[in-house]
Chain A
């Protein structure tokens, strides 16, 4: 009867908790396995939280980079627009050939030509010959250009044909065009400030996004003298674990993209410059009324760098999505495994409960009946 009672209590416990194995002694292997599964599931939950944190960091980084990209696009537009304000070129008249086959700007409009020139093309060699009508000096120009001669930058817009000939005469720049350029320069400087602020973006926790490990150090400072950015962060990159053997970088140090721009600007001795110098050089040129051609290539390189990082971020976010769904799948498998091990079959347990109750009642009743049986009752 005692045995039946304890079996009944056990079944009742199972029914009320919904769990099959209450204690390690019931089935040591299964309980240890369940504990292991509990641990794995909790670890996966943590990975999912990590993934959320990584996702949020990367989203912030991407937003900042997209904004920077927008600003740089605008800078590039302004650069093209400024270059196209043709205040800075001499008058070009085609003696033979297409008018717009060549365009000529002053490298420094403040320093225009004083003599007239004749530019002619010999398709047999092939070469261009530039004759200074004042001094009678000739210069031979070969290749696709652009050519810089006597403060003029000569750009070829179409393939020349043998016999092409142009007359170049001095022209004075218009004051309003120079003013337009200065306005563009002001906007470019404002954009530069914007870029500077975005480079020093902080995340929700007040940490600088692009400072590497030095998250409380302002990563980029602008040097007024050299017109360049100085990177104060380091090359550290923080990783977050999003799976048992998978971790993902949740940031990129600023050194990785803003200081690593190989420019097309031949005047850079080391061949590498930074974004600040590039943008500043455009503004400088426009303020002086000059054009700035080489910076376009620089801007393309800079934007390419940012695109490269954005592509990396996209890849990482894909990796996170992938890992999150894989984590979910593993978690479901683990949970179902755990459920097999520890969850109760309610139908079976309820049936068992009734059976045991019946057995207990039967033995109680038979006990009472047997107790009543005594010869003394019949004496």
Chain B
């Protein structure tokens, strides 16, 4: 009876515990991180009798937590990945919304700016059209700046968020350390403190949202938590503090620092993986920085190229064009005191959207791009380092490593961001609508209206001049043309020079008439007759030969003369580009000696340039022009004290035709420069001449859009995985109310049965007592 009572009471106790545990499970059905508990029962040691062993009831051996370490680890890894991609996607999509929206993006503003330019080209004297252009240019600049300011805001916000996240991580790790401590204390009682384990697991789960962690269980029940490649966050009962620190030299960036207890601070920015921390860092590095650089690149490209074109023009006041937009300079960031590396923009068309790192190795500066691509010069050759003290142009940026202050030492680092400030530094520099340079400063005209009035003359040839321009010799810009220039055309002229001295003192006596054959431009030779007689000096020889020419069909086409070396020279009229003089066939000898071994030379067709009227001044320059090959090409020449001037010529001018370049005085109806400015919209001026301005913006849109799309897919995939793992984990550790309800019934029945046992034992006892009494 006593044993039955004992058995009954042990069963009653066990059922009570089971009911209590079920109740606990039901009570915690909504508790995050709670793992279902189960009472583990064990048969009490039986009593040994002679006839065998008699059972003595049940013992509660322990209360166990339903839990699978593999699932927990997977759950954490998936949580980290999911929160990383979700955050990345959420931020990227926000940026995407802004730049992709027709109202807040750049496309619309850019289109309106170019349309306004077209309107100015349509009517260059209209002040309202110019005012509209200025307004649209302001709007465009404003759009650049507002998108840029938004990006800077997002970066600041992300930095603040990083602080917040780090704070939460610290709270979680110190909580974990605290729970570790309690567990270690509880662990000395030999039974598992299930609820503390749950609490700690839940803390670590929460920590996984911020950063991917690995855990290591210790014998004393504590858990060590590591991040990255094994940097300790929690060791036993101690938590290491994580903090953020302003990056040097990139002050707008933050580093993650782990203060290891008793050790050095570790920079774990590039070591942490997963979770919101990596999502945020990736977003800044992979989306925000390139996007802001791309935006800056468009701003710099637009400003630089527009400025260059605008500067070649002339405004309504007759002044040369000035810069339309201010251009952002490259940022050079360093922790060093002396600016040993400086960077300037060299070619907007070649700019990338990357940032550059220059590190001194003692002799050279190694140069790398933060997007990992090769750095190239304008020929496409890869540049990996810059010799110390030299200047190299790479990716459209001129890197100057001239030592300015203290000499660099090994390891000195400079970060160059060529385009980061591009959009924020862009401003409209012109406020006066008259200052828009729609005209060109130089006009061209042909011989129809001669300079300084007088009777008009028509050119005889078909030459047409166009596109005159004058720039300063140092290439700094255009200059005004003070005096008109006259270009006078002369066609090909051929000369044939003999090699026998015909100077005075040499008397050449021809006993009979002599003959020479002259062939022009490869035509059949014409025989000229030189009359017999004594020719006492060079002039007499020339006169005799000229008389022969004039009597032939070559009259007017060939002139005989004597040169400085007393050689007989035959010169063709302009337009005849070859001459050949040989001994005559009718009668040979005599004069043939004078021609001897002739040398022929061709003075190629060309323009003689006069400052002002040809009558007034000497030839200040000559410009070769071959109608066959140069027609339509730009002809350029440099004239000292004046500048570099250029023009185009089409057609075939006649010898003596004159063309003029003069200042475009009062040329307010000229829209040539406005046309060129407007035309830049469609030209592929960016990315090494492969993309227009809007194409470049399209690339930015596509880059951000693709990032958003990819991260959305990744976040969705991780979300599904997380659902699966959560379901699996729930099926192991979760509380199923139905199961608990069944359990309650079961345990209640067990309890009732156990109570019945005690009751039976009581009845038995009573009946025994009754029998005794």
**Which residues of A are interface residues toward B (Cβ below 8 A)?**
23-29, 31-32, 35-36, 38-39, 42-43, 46, 49-50, 53-54, 205, 207, 211-217, 230-231, 234-236, 238-241, 244, 247, 255-256, 259-260, 262, 269-270, 272, 274, 374-376, 379
Q: Which of A217, A255, A269 contacts B449 (CB 8 A)?
A: A255
Give the distance in Å from the alpha carbon of A27 to the alpha carbon of B704 in the complex. Answer: 11
What are 25 of the A-B contact pairs (CB < 8 Å)? A23-B708, A25-B712, A32-B705, A35-B102, A35-B698, A46-B118, A49-B122, A50-B118, A205-B126, A212-B443, A212-B669, A213-B666, A216-B666, A235-B443, A235-B445, A240-B671, A241-B678, A241-B679, A244-B682, A256-B448, A259-B456, A260-B448, A272-B455, A376-B737, A379-B741
Q: Which of A35, A238, A255 contacts B107 (CB 8 A)?
A: A35
Give the distance in Å from the alpha carbon of A42 to the alpha carbon of B93 in the complex. Answer: 27
* With known contacts A42-B111, A214-B668, A255-B448, A241–B125 Cβ distance under 8 A: no
Query: A215 touching B118 by the CB < 8 A rule?
Result: no
* Inter-chain contacts of B100 with A (CB < 8 A): 23-25, 31
* Inter-chain contacts of B702 with A (CB < 8 A): 24, 28-29, 32
Query: A270 touching B457 by the CB < 8 A rule?
Result: yes
* Inter-chain contacts of A50 with B (CB < 8 A): 118, 121-122
Query: A207 touching B458 by the CB < 8 A rule?
Result: no
Query: Within the complex, what minimum Cβ distance (angstroms) separates A286 from chain B?
Result: 25
Query: B125 touching A35 by the CB < 8 A rule?
Result: no
Query: B107 touching A39 by the CB < 8 A rule?
Result: yes
* CB-based nearest B residue for A25: B708
- Among all A-B residue pairs, the 9 with the closest Cβ atoms: A24-B705, A215-B669, A28-B705, A25-B708, A213-B667, A213-B670, A375-B741, A235-B445, A24-B100
* Inter-chain contacts of B439 with A (CB < 8 A): 213
Query: B449 touching A259 by the CB < 8 A rule?
Result: yes
Q: With a 10 A CB-CB cut-off, give which of A50, A207, A213 has the most chain B CB atoms.
A: A213
* Inter-chain contacts of B709 with A (CB < 8 A): 25-28
* Inter-chain contacts of B319 with A (CB < 8 A): none
* With known contacts A25-B93, A272-B456, A379-B741, A239–B444 Cβ distance under 8 A: no
CB of B742 closer than 8 Å to a CB of A: yes
Query: Within the complex, what minimum Cβ distance (angstroms) separates A214 from chain B?
Result: 4
* CB-based nearest A residue for B107: A35
* CB-based nearest B residue for A206: B125
Give the distance in Å from the alpha carbon of A357 to the alpha carbon of B446 in the complex. Answer: 77
CB of B1 closer than 8 Å to a CB of A: no
* With known contacts A28-B702, A50-B118, A238-B671, A23–B449 Cβ distance under 8 A: no
* CB-based nearest B residue for A32: B698
Q: Which of A215, A240, A269, A376 contacts B741 (CB 8 A)?
A: A376
Q: Which of B96, B107, B667 contacts A214 (CB 8 A)?
A: B667
* With known contacts A205-B125, A214-B669, A270–B455 Cβ distance under 8 A: yes
Give the distance in Å from the alpha carbon of A314 to the alpha carbon of B669 in the complex. Answer: 22
* CB-based nearest A residue for B744: A379
* With known contacts A35-B694, A42-B111, A272-B457, A240–B712 Cβ distance under 8 A: no
Query: A375 touching B737 by the CB < 8 A rule?
Result: yes
Q: With a 10 A CB-CB cut-off, give which of B444, B705, B742 has the most chain A CB atoms.
A: B705
Give the distance in Å from the alpha carbon of A290 to the alpha carbon of B576 in the complex. Answer: 49
Give the distance in Å from the alpha carbon of A272 to the alpha carbon of B456 in the complex. Answer: 7
Considering only residues 666-685 of chain B, those with a C-beta below 8 Å from chain A are: 666-672, 675, 678-679, 681-682
* CB-based nearest A residue for B682: A244
Q: Which of A36, A205, A255, A272 contacts B123 (CB 8 A)?
A: A205
* Inter-chain contacts of A262 with B (CB < 8 A): 458
Q: Which of A25, A234, A247, A272 contacts B664 (CB 8 A)?
A: A234
Q: With a 10 A CB-CB cut-off, give which of A28, A214, A259 has the most chain B CB atoms.
A: A28
Query: B675 touching A241 by the CB < 8 A rule?
Result: yes
Give the distance in Å from the alpha carbon of A212 to the alpha carbon of B666 in the complex. Answer: 10
CB of B453 closer than 8 Å to a CB of A: yes
* CB-based nearest A residue for B736: A375
* Inter-chain contacts of A241 with B (CB < 8 A): 118, 121, 675, 678-679
* Inter-chain contacts of B672 with A (CB < 8 A): 239
* With known contacts A31-B100, A214-B666, A53–B122 Cβ distance under 8 A: yes
* Inter-chain contacts of A212 with B (CB < 8 A): 443, 667, 669
Q: What would 9 more interface pairs be, CB under 8 Å, given A32-B701, A53-B122?
A: A35-B107, A35-B698, A212-B669, A213-B670, A236-B443, A238-B669, A239-B671, A260-B456, A375-B741
CB of B706 closer than 8 Å to a CB of A: yes
* Inter-chain contacts of A32 with B (CB < 8 A): 698-699, 701-702, 705
Query: B701 touching A234 by the CB < 8 A rule?
Result: no
Query: Within the complex, what minimum Cβ distance (angstroms) separates A40 from chain B?
Result: 9
CB of B638 closer than 8 Å to a CB of A: no
Query: A38 touching B107 by the CB < 8 A rule?
Result: yes
Give the distance in Å from the alpha carbon of A216 to the alpha carbon of B741 in the complex. Answer: 99
* With known contacts A43-B681, A50-B122, A215-B125, A235–B675 Cβ distance under 8 A: no
Query: B456 touching A216 by the CB < 8 A rule?
Result: no
Query: A207 touching B122 by the CB < 8 A rule?
Result: no
Give the distance in Å from the alpha carbon of A25 to the alpha carbon of B96 in the complex. Answer: 7
CB of B48 closer than 8 Å to a CB of A: no
* Inter-chain contacts of B102 with A (CB < 8 A): 35, 38
* Inter-chain contacts of B745 with A (CB < 8 A): 379
For B82-118 the 0/1 string (1 means CB < 8 A from A) is 0000000000110011011010010100110011001
* Inter-chain contacts of A35 with B (CB < 8 A): 102, 105, 107, 694, 697-698, 701
CB of B190 closer than 8 Å to a CB of A: no
Give the distance in Å from the alpha carbon of A327 to the alpha carbon of B447 in the complex. Answer: 38
CB of B474 closer than 8 Å to a CB of A: no
* CB-based nearest B residue for A379: B741
* Inter-chain contacts of A375 with B (CB < 8 A): 737-738, 741-742
Query: B455 touching A43 by the CB < 8 A rule?
Result: no
* Inter-chain contacts of A238 with B (CB < 8 A): 124, 669-671
Q: Which of A31, A239, A274 contacts B705 (CB 8 A)?
A: A31
Q: Which of A43, A214, A247 contacts B111 (CB 8 A)?
A: A43
* Inter-chain contacts of B93 with A (CB < 8 A): 23, 25
* CB-based nearest B residue for A262: B458
* CB-based nearest A residue for B720: A3
* CB-based nearest B residue for A250: B122
* With known contacts A23-B96, A241-B675, A236–B670 Cβ distance under 8 A: yes
* Inter-chain contacts of A269 with B (CB < 8 A): 455
Query: B669 touching A260 by the CB < 8 A rule?
Result: no
Query: Within the complex, what minimum Cβ distance (angstroms) separates B460 from chain A?
Result: 12
Query: Within the complex, what minimum Cβ distance (angstroms) separates B745 from chain A?
Result: 7
* Inter-chain contacts of B706 with A (CB < 8 A): 25, 28
Query: B449 touching A231 by the CB < 8 A rule?
Result: yes
Query: A230 touching B457 by the CB < 8 A rule?
Result: no
* CB-based nearest A residue for B710: A25
* CB-based nearest A residue for B666: A214
